Amino acid sequence: MTTMTLGAAAVRRRWNLDALTVVTATVCAALVLLALAGPFLAPHAPDQTDILAASQGPGAQHLLGTDALGRDLLSRLLSGARLSFAGPGLIVAVSTSAGTAIAIWSAWHGGLLDKGMNRVLDVMFAVPGILVAVLAAAVFGSGFWAPVVALSIVYVPYVARVVRSAAVRERHLPYVEACQLAGMRPFRICNRHILRNVAPIALAQGTIAFASALMDFAAISFLGLGVQPPAAEWGLMVSDGRSELLDGAPQQSLSAGVMIVLTVVAFNVLGERVSRRIGGHR
């Protein structure tokens, strides 16, 4: 048995992790590292065109083939991973932070304020994220930031609703009353104690939201309202490859689509496993 195998087994025993959680966590970590280092690993410049090598299949020079402009697909996948992850990453960071803050604030004050906030969240739930992103792109113009801002707002209620339930439970525990009797300010109680206890739930929800955000962000680019050519982004690559499908060159849409599906499934499964583990320990 190798040292790496022994190390993985030790980590699993220490954190009581099952094999599926370890595998999905490893895949997610590898994908994140790929997004960070992708442009440096690309064998060719992602925008380098070669008309003589247009729409070629996989080969020794181009491992995944080329697109209609002769650009190396492996290089574009690796370089596009950064944009494909940056958008959803920003969406999740903003929506998780805002949703958690709203949830704790609402749970702390309770009463009419909590009920009013729940009604606002219900209204936000009724609005499809894709529709809001399309409207934002129509108003502010297509590009990277319009869908990021729109989807960040749309994803807030998904995080706030889940975290609020945990925050309400924490709010009524004896230690909170003890902190109040000790003269601790509400902001400090929320920041040092309630936030710390609901953070794992927010993290699990953010992991699941990342998968959905990546799919929505790719869909916006696929519609031509997100990242614009000649930038490399997975959703845009699927869209660009549509015209090549009829010519018997499905490699661009197929390779980008496989990466989107792999990422969505990996982060969804990881988020579900983390949520289940947190729920089982509460």
Total tally of structural domains belonging to the chain: 1
Rounded to an integer, the average pLDDT of 40-58 is 88
Whether 180 is covered by a domain: the verdict is yes
248: Cα separation from own chain's centroid: 32
The separation between the first and the last C-alpha atoms of the chain, rounded to the nearest angstrom, is: 36
Could you tell me how many helices (H) and strands (E) the chain has, helices first?
A: 12, 0
Q: How confident is the model at residue 282, as a pLDDT?
A: 54
Structure tokens at 278: 């947190």
Whether 6 is covered by a domain: the verdict is no
What's the CA gap between 80 and 73, in Å, rounded?
A: 10
Structure tokens at 179: 């902190």
Whether 107 is covered by a domain: the verdict is yes
Whether 56 is covered by a domain: the verdict is no
Question: Is the pTM above the cut of 0.85?
Answer: yes
Whether 44 is covered by a domain: the verdict is no
Q: Which residues pair with 66 in a beta bridge?
A: 72
| Least confident stretch, 48-62, 69-83, 87-101 | 48-62
Burial class for 143, CB neighbours closer than 10 Å (0-12, 13-18, 19+)? middle
Whether 28 is covered by a domain: the verdict is no
What element of type H or E holds 78? Answer: helix 73-109
Counting every residue, how long is the chain?
Answer: 282
Q: What is the domain-level CATH number for residue 207?
A: 1.10.3720.10
**Domain region containing 226:** 73-280
Whether 120 is covered by a domain: the verdict is yes
Q: Is the pLDDT score of 118 beyond 90?
A: no
The model's pLDDT over 161-193, given as tens digits with 9 standing for 90+, comes to 999 999 999 998 999 889 888 889 989 999 988
What's the CA gap between 272 and 212, in Å, rounded?
A: 13
Whether 2 is covered by a domain: the verdict is no
